[in-house]
Amino acid sequence: SLSSLFAKENLAHMSKEQLNRYDRLINEPSNDWDIYYWATEAKPTPAEFDTDVMAMLREFAKNRNREQRLRQPDLEYLFEPPR
C-alpha cells in the first residue's frame, strides 16, 4: 500500500512528533481509502490531518522519480537500525 511504501522510506528519518502524527494519520481515520484520496489530492485533507507528515505523504504519492511500486515492502525494514 502507499502508506507502507511511504513508511519504509521515511519512518527512520522522522522526529518523534512526526511519528506521532503519522501514527494518528494511519490509525484514526476509519477508512484507509480516505488517506489515499487525501494523499493523491482527490479529496481535500481535513484540517486535523493536514500536517507536515501529510504533506510528505502527498509528495511521496506524486512519485516524481517514476519508481515502480508494484509490491509492498518486506517488513524487515522495521527491525533495521536507522541509517
Confidence of residue 14 (pLDDT cuts 50, 70, 90): very high
**pLDDT over threshold 90, residue 70:** no
Torsion of CA 8, 10, 12, 17, to 10 degrees: -130
d(CA 51, CA 20): 11
Reading phi first (left if > 0) and then psi (alpha if -120 to 50, else beta), residue 41 is in left
For the record, the C-alpha cell of 11 comes out as 519512518
Domain spans of the chain, in order of start: 2-67
Q: For residues 33-37, give the mean pLDDT.
A: 93
pTM of full prediction above 0.75: no
Residues 46-69: pLDDT tens digits? 999 999 999 999 999 997 767 665
For the record, the C-alpha cell of 43 comes out as 479529496
